[in-house]
Amino acid sequence: MTTDTTELTTSVRERRALFRSDATQKLLAFAGLIALFVVFSLASPNFFKFDNIIGILLATAVNGVLALGVTFIIVTAGIDLSVGTVMTLSAVMSGVFVTFWGLPIPLGILAGLATGALAGFVNGIAISKMKIPPFIATLGMMMMAKGLALVISGAKPIYFNDTPAFRQMAMGSLIGRVIPGFEVPNAVFILFGAAIIANLILTKTVLGRYTVALGSNEEATRLSGVNVDAWKTAVYALGGAFSGLGGVLMAARLNSAQPALGAGYELDAIAAVVIGGTSLSGGEGTILGTVIGAFIISVLTNGLRILSVPQEWQMVVTGAIVILAVYADIIRRRNQ
């Protein structure tokens, strides 16, 4: 996809062509999602039920939000391995604010988001100013965040028992009050809200445009007078803020900040982004694709569990799907 672009305008034109091809990929991913729904619904009467669909939506919330942040970073041709443990660190900081210090819940949520953004900012500085490859910089952050989460929490979970509103924020259902019986937890709407915001940032703002430009051709972007380092740092900070949101959602759902969780969550998030058609070589990717990718993973996991498929095989199937999705993407590009 990376042609020799010397001017930003070419990259914009390229992007337009790209959107058309993205549409195919999204269609493919969406068709895959529908196909999974149909197969599982036929295979088990217990799959297509209101409660189970809510279960799938809820199971997607944390991974989906993490994947939104990772999308931005992968579009710049970077990678973020620290999302899982930064999520945990953010959850712990929310716990410190709300439970240890007794501060109001909105401040606790803000603390979670800010912790994520700060960790992302440090990643960004390490990558753009110190020229450390993203893989290494975020690997370092992954370990640091894990350690800090354990140190700050004293290696013990922090509970939100004194502040039931914290859990209600994600697990309560505002819409259930408006439409009785339609008890969809707020976390699901938080995911969709975050996705809409992410989409606006990626498609309608300068930050979004530079995110794509950085991934398409960083050198050309630099030559056209863009402060590449600053924008890259901003992208990592934004990605970190989404990890922070993921941490807040996880803490709310578990009613506790569990300092030992988080390892491996980055890989699920990256898988969701890749299934959604975002290229690891950067320069292209859509939020809708990522959301669909995250849902494909949840539907697959849920459906295989409903069918009582042994867990060992669930992993094999999920892995195969990731490879197939990327292969489909490669075929599509070759045919372009």
Partner 1 sequence: MTAKRWLTGFVVILAAIALLAACGGGGAAPAEEAAPVEEAAPAEEVAPAEEAAPAEEAAEEAAPAEEEAAPTEAPAEEAAPEEAAETPYIPVISKGFQHQFWQAVKAGSEQAAADLGVEITFEGPESESQVDKQLEMVQAALAKNPSALCIAALDSKALIPLLEEADAAGIPVIGFDSGVDSDILVTTAATDNIAAAGMAADKMAELIGGEGQVAVIVHDQTSRTGIDRRDGFLNRMAEAYPDIEIVDVQYGGGDHLRSTDLAKAIIQAHPDLKGFFGANEGSIIGVLNAVTELGRDDLVVIGYDSGKQQLDAIRSGLEAGAITQNPVGIGYKCVEAAVMAINGEPLDKVIDTGFFWYDATNIDSEEIQPLLYE
Shortest reach from residue 223's CB to partner 1, in Å: 17
259 binds partner 1 (CB under 8 A): yes
Euclidean distance between CA atoms 237 and 323, whole angstroms: 29
253 binds partner 1 (CB under 8 A): yes
Q: Where are the beta strands (DSSP E) in 219-308?
A: 256-257
> CA torsion sign, 279 to 282 to 283 to 289?
positive
174 binds partner 1 (CB under 8 A): no
Q: Which of 16, 20, 130, 181 binds partner 1 (CB under 8 A)?
A: 130
Report the amino acid identity of residue 172: G
Both tokens of residue 192? Answer: 């969709």
Binding mask 277-316 toward partner 1 (x if CB under 8 A, else -) reads ---------------------x--xx--xxxx--xx----
Q: Are 289 and 276 in contact (CB under 8 A)?
A: yes
132 SS3 class: coil
String of DSSP letters for 145-189: HHHHHHHHHTTS-EE-TT-HHHHHHHHS-HHHHHSTT----HHHH
Q: Are 315 and 52 in contact (CB under 8 A)?
A: no
44 binds partner 1 (CB under 8 A): yes
Q: What is the DSSP letter of 205?
A: S
Q: Which of 59, 238, 241, 287 binds partner 1 (CB under 8 A)?
A: 59
85 binds partner 1 (CB under 8 A): no
319 binds partner 1 (CB under 8 A): no
Q: What is the DSSP letter of 256?
A: E
Query: Where does this chain touch partner 1 (CB under 8 A) — which range of 3-11, 120-128, 193-201, 277-285?
Result: 120-128
Shortest reach from residue 229's CB to partner 1, in Å: 10
Query: Where does this chain touch partner 1 (CB under 8 A) — which range of 124-132, 173-181, 201-209, 285-293?
Result: 124-132
Shortest reach from residue 92's CB to partner 1, in Å: 11
Euclidean distance between CA atoms 8 and 14, whole angstroms: 10
Query: Where does this chain touch partner 1 (CB under 8 A) — which range of 26-34, 145-153, 206-214, 323-331?
Result: 145-153
Size of the site for partner 1 (CB under 8 A): 46
Listed in sequence order, the residues at least 6 apart from 299 whose beta carbon sits closer than 8 Å to its beta carbon are 33, 36, 37, 40, 56
- Nearest in space to 293 (alpha carbons), one of 330, 246, 325: 325
Shortest reach from residue 15's CB to partner 1, in Å: 31
Report the amino acid identity of residue 31: A
Shortest reach from residue 244's CB to partner 1, in Å: 16
Q: Which of 125, 207, 288, 326 binds partner 1 (CB under 8 A)?
A: 125
171 binds partner 1 (CB under 8 A): yes
Question: Could you tell me how many residues make up the chain?
Answer: 336
Shortest reach from residue 159's CB to partner 1, in Å: 6
- The residue whose two tokens read 């930050």 is 207
Interacting residues toward partner 1 by CB under 8 A: 44, 46-47, 49, 51-52, 55, 58-59, 62, 122, 125-126, 129-130, 146, 148, 150-152, 154-157, 159, 161, 171, 250, 253-256, 258-261, 263, 298, 301-302, 305-308, 311-312
